[in-house]
Amino acid sequence: MDMQETAEDRAFRAEVAGFIADKLPADIRTRVRDGYDAGRDDTRRWHEILAARGWLVPSWPAEWGGAGWNVMQRHIFEEECALGYCPPVHGITIGMLGPVLIRYGTEAQKQRYLPAILNVREWWCQGYSEPGAGSDLASLKTEARRDGDAYIVNGSKIWTSTGEWATHMFCLVRTDKSAKPQEGISFLLIDMKTAGISIRPIHAINGHRLFNQVFLDNVVVPVENLVHKENDGWSVAKSLLEHERLNLSRVGESKKRLHRLKEIARVEREGGRTLIEQDWFRRKLAALETRLRALDATVLRFIARTQSGAALDPSVSMLKLRGSQLVQDILQATVDALGYYGLPFDLSTALSDSDPLGGLADDDLDVLPDYAAGASVSRFRSRAFTIAGGSSEVQRNVMAKQVLKL
């Protein structure tokens, strides 16, 4: 518990913890605790539970469904959700698209899209990267040609996370080929059911369908789906990336994973004693915990600044850089703590259709303690964290150029 919590804060913490104990379904809790990513169904169920309580989008302005919490309450809520093994909310929809529409959307766009998020009817995916445009995002080539009241969009987006469940995609498109790369880009909202959109799955090293490639072939998008100004989508894109990078500090995930690692260290033994009783392991835990607390305090400073009205700025890159490395190190320490049990992984959760990797049968997994089956899935998954949302090298470049002005 935080030393600076007031009696009111403690009452709020108890209220949140009680809500989670009461409402989070046991099967979802077990899956999250054992390290599996929450899929569409778990995420949807949890969104519905939070929405019914008015806690789905706490950081949005109150008029759009926000909870009106102060920084400490947000901090307490996120901490209790992490320690209670709640699935994360869908960051692309709630942490990225929502704040950007609130800042840049027209009244009609807000009225159309924000309530549908609150009612858990619509999900978004992010159409930024392309086969030839990742770190150098401004070189993107997906083209939108104006034709009367519509844009005709052609091109392809790649690494589209949760594209298979998204009802909509926010998409960066080139609307002026003759301008400088950053100046000819626009930000469009696209309904995934529009004719001409097709999706190809991409499986990751842990067996999960982590992302997709999306093809757009003469897709007709009404002009009213343009956010902000034509050819000024780069401002919107950057603002959204800053929100993404705040989310990608992954403090909640690190808290959950470190908490789980301590639980495992109380059970796993080496040389007749549990790991938690051994100095070398305690030093490892202490080093991870120190980094986590420093990151947590820094994230809180950023949140406090945004609550007092300031926009996020490029220095948010340091949170993404530090946070993604920290989760990786915690998950590596978890696999290390498990020894041989950390190596096999549960393909039955990963590959629902055929099993091309010839993976483990359920019986093989029975020999593993519950907490081990998801360890390698999570560890492999976390390799992506230093790439997704802009690689570590790119975060360092942003800080060098835009923050330190080197």
Ligand X SMILES: Cc1cc2nc3c(=O)[nH]c(=O)nc-3n(C[C@H](O)[C@H](O)[C@H](O)COP(=O)(O)OP(=O)(O)OC[C@H]3O[C@@H](n4cnc5c(N)ncnc54)[C@H](O)[C@@H]3O)c2cc1C
Catalytic residue annotation: 244
| In the complex, minimum distance from the CB of residue 274 to ligand X, in angstroms, rounded to a whole number | 34
28 with 366: CB under 8 angstroms?
A: no
Find the binding residues for ligand X in span 159-178 (CB under 6 A): 159-161
Q: Does 116 bind ligand X (CB under 6 A)?
A: no
Token pair in block for residue 334: 């978890």
> For ligand X, which is the closer residue by CB, 49 or 169?
169
Find the binding residues for ligand X in span 22-61 (CB under 6 A): none
Strand pairing report for 168-174 and 197-202: unpaired
**150, 156, 162, 164: CA torsion to nearest 10:** 80
> For ligand X, which is the closer residue by CB, 202 or 351?
202
Q: Which residue from 129, 152, 155 is spatially nearest to 142, judged by alpha carbons?
A: 155
Q: Which of 66, 134, 222, 359 binds ligand X (CB under 6 A)?
A: 134
Distance CA 354, CA 274 (A): 39
Strand (E) or helix (H) holding 269: strand 269-270
143 with 177: CB under 8 angstroms?
A: yes
| In the complex, minimum distance from the CB of residue 262 to ligand X, in angstroms, rounded to a whole number | 27
321 with 403: CB under 8 angstroms?
A: no
> For ligand X, which is the closer residue by CB, 93 or 225?
93
Q: Does 394 bind ligand X (CB under 6 A)?
A: yes
Q: Which residue from 311, 322, 296, 330 is spatially nearest to 392, judged by alpha carbons?
A: 322
> For ligand X, which is the closer residue by CB, 15 or 393?
393
171 with 188: CB under 8 angstroms?
A: yes
Grouping H, G, I as helix, E, B as strand and the rest as coil, residue 187 is: strand
| In the complex, minimum distance from the CB of residue 318 to ligand X, in angstroms, rounded to a whole number | 16
| In the complex, minimum distance from the CB of residue 13 to ligand X, in angstroms, rounded to a whole number | 32
| In the complex, minimum distance from the CB of residue 323 to ligand X, in angstroms, rounded to a whole number | 15
Q: Does 135 bind ligand X (CB under 6 A)?
A: yes
Q: Does 393 bind ligand X (CB under 6 A)?
A: yes
| In the complex, minimum distance from the CB of residue 381 to ligand X, in angstroms, rounded to a whole number | 8
- Give buried/exposed letters for 25-63 (b at 16+ CB in 10 A, else e): eeebbebbbbbbbbbeebbbbbbebbbeeebbbbbbeee
> For ligand X, which is the closer residue by CB, 284 or 381?
381
> For ligand X, which is the closer residue by CB, 59 or 126?
126
| In the complex, minimum distance from the CB of residue 170 to ligand X, in angstroms, rounded to a whole number | 10
**Which span (37-45, 59-67, 287-295, 393-401) binds ligand X, by CB under 6 A?**
393-401
> Residues with Cβ < 8 Å from 379, sequence gap 6 or more?
328, 331, 332, 334, 335, 342
> For ligand X, which is the closer residue by CB, 260 or 320?
320
Q: Which of 113, 128, 281, 302 binds ligand X (CB under 6 A)?
A: 128
Grouping H, G, I as helix, E, B as strand and the rest as coil, residue 216 is: strand
> For ligand X, which is the closer residue by CB, 65 or 390?
390
Grouping H, G, I as helix, E, B as strand and the rest as coil, residue 188 is: strand
| In the complex, minimum distance from the CB of residue 204 to ligand X, in angstroms, rounded to a whole number | 7
Distance CA 187, CA 236 (A): 7
Distance CA 46, CA 24 (A): 7
Q: Does 210 bind ligand X (CB under 6 A)?
A: yes
Grouping H, G, I as helix, E, B as strand and the rest as coil, residue 290 is: helix
163 with 211: CB under 8 angstroms?
A: yes
Position closest to ligand X via CB: 134
**Interaction pattern, residues 262-301, with ligand X; x per rule: CB under 6 A:** ----------------------------------------
Q: Does 334 bind ligand X (CB under 6 A)?
A: no
Q: Does 109 bind ligand X (CB under 6 A)?
A: no
**Interaction pattern, residues 360-389, with ligand X; x per rule: CB under 6 A:** ------------------------x--xx-
Q: Does 314 bind ligand X (CB under 6 A)?
A: no
List residues near ligand X by CB under 6 A.
125-129, 134-135, 159-161, 210-211, 384, 387-388, 390-391, 393-394, 397
